[in-house]
Structure 1
Amino acid sequence: MTQWTVHGTRRIYESEWMSVDLDDVEIPDGERFEHHVLRLPYPSTAVVVVEKDDVLLMWRHRFTTDVWGWEIPAGRCEAGESAATAAVRETEEETGYRVRVEPLVTMNPLNGLSSHTTHMFVGTDAVKTGEPDPAEAARVEWVPLGDIPALIRKGLVPCGITLAALTTYLTLRTTGSGPPSGPRQEG
């Protein structure tokens, strides 16, 4: 097996939200160079909230891409908080619904550039506890799961984490398979 070797790291930016490093790496053929790496101090969570044949989605604008689209509730874990607890908290804060969560899949959304991990869950037994945070979404709606493929084809689900979570959920639901295991470690 071949893998890259990290000889050192030089931090070039740091905040409470992220750091950017230049890692001194060597690839299997012996070439050595600096590679940019984005590191986030805490993992994030995302939740596919389902009720019967509907999924809870938020219609929101992202200034970074200047795009509107449907997203699932998501956010970062706080210090000392489990991913499941963060998933429940983020869902309630963003949508006004409290849910029970079960693991769906864990992924590294930008594994060529970032060490960041996102834990995705399926949320069920949704109970309305309040109003959604207006800073998070223009509206929150229950959308039929059968409409998701058309929304994706129309480009109305531009968020990569939302795409990954919804397509994983729909694939596993359709095939009757259980949730996949976490990232595979070679060694």
Structure 2
Amino acid sequence: MEWTSYGRRRVYDSPYVEVWLDDVDIPGVGRVDHHVITMPKASTTSVVTDDQGRFLLLYRHRFITGRWGWEVPAGWAEPGEDPALAITREIEEETGWRPGRVVPLVEYDALAGISTMRFHSFHATECEQVGVPTDASEATRIEWLPEAEVVKLLASGEVADGPSLAALAYYLGPYRLSQ
């Protein structure tokens, strides 16, 4: 069943998010104003691993949820920027490590029922430490953790960030099984 759209109007916009009201007819429901959140910039995430099977993670606080947790490096791609180049930049800015190889992992719609937010996830390897993170606001700690510890963090809820959960779970499951 496909919805019919009769137009939209912008409620709010900024360089990071836009909120729209779409006038839609939903089969079986009727005509309603449906909120839609659009993201002007593409989102990127990365699972960063080394040749010892460790994962590079950031420990940080998220203001919106009030929670501390472990996350993968992530960030925005500027309009027109290749997402693979954007995540390479973000990894270095957030961790001080420069990946030598970045390959696509998975792409997905994070909130398909209400948002255009699309994530481009990558697997980054062959990292070289080039300095300290240039964006000090990103993390309290940056650590290389063994796979067994990452699995424990996932199972215990210490990785609560959706993009990190999706990227790590995909890497540990379908991605590795298909290699």
TM bin (shorter chain): over 0.9
Post-superposition offset of 1:134: 2.1
> Which ranges of structure 1 fall in alignment gaps of 5 or more residues?
179-187
After superposition, residues 1-187 of structure 1 pair within 5 angstroms as 2-29=1-28, 31-52=30-51, 53-99=53-99, 100-132=101-133, 133-175=135-177, 177-178=178-179
**4+ residue runs of structure 1 moved beyond 6 angstroms?**
none
Taking structure 1 as the reference length, the TM-score comes to 0.90
AA of the residue aligned to 2:21: L
Q: Distance in 1 between matches of 2:43 and 2:5?
A: 25
**Partner of 2:80: helix, strand, or coil?**
coil
Residue 182 (structure 1) aligns with: none
Cα-Cα RMSD? 1.2
> Which ranges of structure 2 fall in alignment gaps of 5 or more residues?
none
**Partner of 1:51: helix, strand, or coil?**
coil
Q: Distance in 2 between matches of 1:41 and 1:174?
A: 32
Note closer, same or farther for the CA distance 1:35–1:11 as it changes in structure 2 (3 Å cut): same
* Percent identity between the two aligned chains: 46
AA of the residue aligned to 1:10: R
Taking structure 2 as the reference length, the TM-score comes to 0.94
Deviations along 1:33-60, one digit per CA (max 9) or x if unpaired, are 0111111101110010011311100000
Q: Distance in 1 between matches of 2:77 and 2:34?
A: 27
Post-superposition offset of 1:30: 6.2
